[in-house]
Chains A and B, each alone.
Chain A
Amino acid sequence: MNAREEVLARIAAAHRAAPPPNLPYEGISRDYRTTSDSSAEELTELLIDRLVDYRALVRQCSADDLAGTIAGALADRGAHTVVVPSGLDSSWTAGLSGSVLTDGLLAHYQRTVSELDGVDGVVTGCAVAIAETGTLILDGSAGQGRRVLTLIPDYHLCVVLPDQIVADVPQALARLEATQPLTMISGPSATSDIELNRVEGVHGPRTLEVIIVQNERSE
C-alpha cells in the first residue's frame, strides 16, 4: 500500500472507530453578516480610518486629478524611478517626469529582481478593497502585476477606484477568483514578534501609500 492509500485507509479506520456526526455542507449555519447597509461615503471613510490606523498614507482625489495626485505623491516621496505593471492605465503615469519601467508577465518583459530592488517605488491598481479591515487585494490581473512587483520595492503606491471598495471580507471574496495569485495587503510590512507589539517595516514595502479616487456622483 502506498502512502496515499494508507493515509486514506487510516482516515476510514478512524471514522469506523469514531463515527463522525452527520453535518452536511448545506446545513452549516452561517448567521454572520454578509451584507452591509453603509453608503459608499461611509465605506470610504471607514477604509481611510482603517488604513491610517495601520500606518498607511492616504490621499483622496477625483478621477480627473488622478495623474496629478500620483505625480505629487511620487514627488513628495522623492521617487524618480518607478516600476508599473503592464496593463496599468497609461494616463495614470502620464504626468511623471522620472523614468517609468514596465514589468510584464511574460519572461521577456519581466524585470530582474535586482532591477526591482533598485527602483524607488511601484505604482499599481487593485482588485478589491475591504473597508472594515483596511485591506487591499491584488489578483495579478492587468494593472496589478505579478506578486513580486509589489514586494521588492520599498514604496508601494496603490490606487483604489470607487467601485472597488466593499464593506467586509465576505463581500470581497465573492468578487475574487480563487485560482488567481492573490495578495491581501493590510498596511505596510509589520511584525508583532518583539514583545507582541506591532512595528512597521520588515521585508515588504516599508511605506504603503493609497490613493482613493472619489466617486464623481457623490460630489
Chain B
Amino acid sequence: MSTPVMLGIPEIPPPAPRGVGNLRGEEKFPNAARRALADTQLRRNLGNATTTIRTKRAQVVAELPDWEELREAGRQLKVHTMAHLPGYLEQLELAVTARGGVVHWARDANEANAIVIELARAKGVDEVVKVKSMATQEIGLNEALEAVGVAALETDLAELIVQLGHDKPSHILVPAIHRNRAEIREIFLREMADADPALTDEPAALAGAARQHLRRKFLSAKMAISGANFGIAETGTLGVVESEGNGRMCLTLPETLITIMGIEKLVPRWQDLEVFLQLLPRSSTGERMNPYTSMWTGVTPGDGPQEFHLILLDNGRTAVLSDSEGRDALNCIRCSACLNVCPVYERTGGHAYGSVYPGPIGAILSPLLTGIEDNASLPYASSLCGACYDVCPVKINIPEILVHLRAKHTETYAAEHRVPSAEAAAMTAAAWVMGNPKRWTLALRSGRLGRILGRKRDVIGDVPLPLAKQWTDARDFARPPKQTFRDWWAAEHGAEQ
C-alpha cells in the first residue's frame, strides 16, 4: 500500500539553498587544513585556548554527581521534541502570538533575510544591533542587510573582533578563538576610531575598550536582532544565554526585537529548561552558570521592546530530519564542547571547515543541511576517536553519523560516476583478495615489501605513487614486520593439515 501524497509537497524536503549564507566552504577540507596547519601562530592560539576550556569543563562537570542522568534526559527530551515538532511549533506560535508577538515562518535563508529586511524598512532604520547568533551567521543576514544599506553591528566581543578584523568566525562559542590578545589589541587600535592609543593587551583592558565603543550604540539602538538558545512551546518563552550583557542590552533597550530561531531549538515545557540550563553552561564555557540568561515571552508592557517578531527558520533542517541516521545532529544545543576536545579541530581551527558550523558537529551538520555533495570532504575531517561523543551534553553519536555520511557520499559518488572511485576500486580488489585463502596469504607476504619504504623512520610516510599518495599524504603506516602472523603461526604450531 502506498501513502497518498498531496500535490506540491516534496517527498524529501530540500536542503539549504546554494548562493546564500555561510554553510559551504570554497575549497575542500584537506586543502584548507593544510594551509591552517602551516600557521604556527594559529596552532599556538588554538592549543592554548582549547586546553584552558577543556580543563574548566572537566572540573565543573565533575562537580555534578548526576551529569550522566542529565545528559540522558537532555537526549530524550530532544528525541521526543523532534518526533512531535509540528504540534510544538504550533503551540509556540499560539503562545507567542497570544502575548503580543508576531510569528513568521521562513523556508530558507533567502526568505528569513527578506523578512528582516522588510521589517527594517518598515521601521526606517539603517542600523541594527545584534546578539551573537549562529542562525543569522548561517543565513548570511549581515551580508543581506548590508546589500540594502542597513549596517548590522555585532555586539558580542568575539563577533566584534571578527567583524572589525574583516575576518570569519572560527568557533561556535568564541568566533575569535584563533586570535590572541596581542592580535586583538592591534585590530582594536586599527579599527576603533575611539580606541585609546595607550590600550594594553590585558584582557580586562580590551573588554573595557569594547564596552566604551558599543555603549552609545546600545543606548540609542532602535532595532535589535537575536537568535535563541531555546523556545518553550508550552509558554512561548524564548531564552538567550550569554556572558557580557550585550545580549541583555539588545533584548531590553531597542523598541523592536527580531529573533531568528531554527525550528529545532524547541523544548516542550518550562520545566525542561532545568535540564538544559545545567548542561549548556558547563559544556560551553566551563562555568556553573553563564553570567546572564534572559527570558521573555512576547511583549511585556513597560519592560523591554514593545514590538517583537519571531522568525522560525527551516533552511535544510527538515532535510536533516528526513535522514533517520543523521537526524540526531538537530539535537545539538551549540555548546561547542565537541570542538574543544577534537584533535582535528585543535590543529586546523574552524576556518578549514568552510561552514559556520566547524568541528565534529559541523562535520555532520553542514553536509546534512546542504546535502552531502556540497560538503563532501567534511565527514572525512575526523579520526573517529569518539571524544566528541563522550562530551556531547545531549549524547549525539557524532562518529556514527560521520561514518553514515561517508557511506552516503560513496553511494552518491557511485551513482553519479561510471568509473568507480579509487577507493571503491581498491575495496573491490581487496574483496577479491580476501575471498580466497591462498590469495590472502600471498598478499600478506607481499606486504613485507613495505619494509623497504619504512626503513628510514621505521614508519611509512608519504608514498609518491598515485592512489597511495592520497592515503599516505596525511597518515603514517607502521612498517610491516619481517614475518606475517600466518607465517609465525605456521612456524610455531605447524601448518594445518
Contacts and interface: CB of A to CB of B under 8 A. Distances in A.
Interface of A: 1-4, 6-25, 27-34, 50, 54, 104-107, 110, 113-114, 117, 130, 132-135, 140, 146-148, 151-152, 168-170, 173-174, 178-205
B180 interface: yes
Contacts of B49: 195-196
Contacts of A19: 324
Contact of A199 (B45, B176, B203, B269): B203
19 contacts: A1-B8, A3-B106, A4-B105, A10-B13, A10-B318, A11-B321, A18-B327, A23-B80, A28-B73, A33-B66, A146-B302, A147-B252, A178-B235, A181-B304, A183-B295, A184-B294, A194-B157, A195-B48, A202-B211
A101 to B, nearest CB: 17
Contact of A14 (B158, B288, B318): B318
Nearest to B220: A113
Scoring A3, A7, A20, A173 by chain B CB atoms within 10 A of each residue's CB, the highest score goes to A7
A196 B158 CA distance: 10
Contacts of A196: 49-50, 52-53, 56, 174, 177, 285
B370 to A, nearest CB: 16
Interface in B176-197: 176-177, 180-181, 184
B459 interface: no
Scoring A11, A34, A113 by chain B CB atoms within 10 A of each residue's CB, the highest score goes to A11
- Nearest 5 pairs between A and B by C-beta? A204-B245, A20-B83, A203-B245, A18-B324, A14-B322
Contacts of A195: 45, 48-49, 52, 180-181, 203
A23 B83 contact: yes
A32 B393 CA distance: 14
Given A140-B303, A187-B291, A193 B157 contact: yes
B301 interface: yes
Contacts of B275: 30, 32
Contacts of B248: 147, 151, 183, 203-204
Contacts of A200: 204
Nearest to B158: A193
Contacts of B236: 179
Given A105-B303, A148-B252, A202 B52 contact: no
B80 A18 contact: no
A194 B243 contact: no
Contacts of A11: 13, 85-86, 89, 263, 318, 321
B476 interface: no
B161 interface: yes
Given A18-B321, A25-B268, A184-B289, A203 B215 contact: yes
Contacts of B73: 28-32
Interface of B: 3, 6, 8-14, 45, 48-50, 52-53, 56, 65-66, 69-70, 72-73, 76-77, 79-80, 82-83, 85-86, 89-90, 99, 104-107, 111, 155-158, 161, 173-174, 176-177, 180-181, 184, 203-204, 206-208, 210-211, 214-215, 218-219, 232, 234-237, 243-246, 248-249, 251-253, 263, 268-271, 273-275, 277-278, 285, 287-297, 300-304, 312, 314, 318-319, 321-324, 327
A10 to B, nearest CB: 4
A146 B300 CA distance: 10
B211 A203 contact: yes
Contact of A31 (B14, B66, B253, B294): B66
A206 B27 CA distance: 43
A99 B406 CA distance: 68
A202 B304 contact: no
Contacts of B263: 7, 11
B295 A202 contact: no
Given A30-B73, A31-B69, A15 B177 contact: no
A87 to B, nearest CB: 13
A28 B80 contact: yes
Contacts of B180: 195
Contacts of B208: 201
A24 B87 CA distance: 13
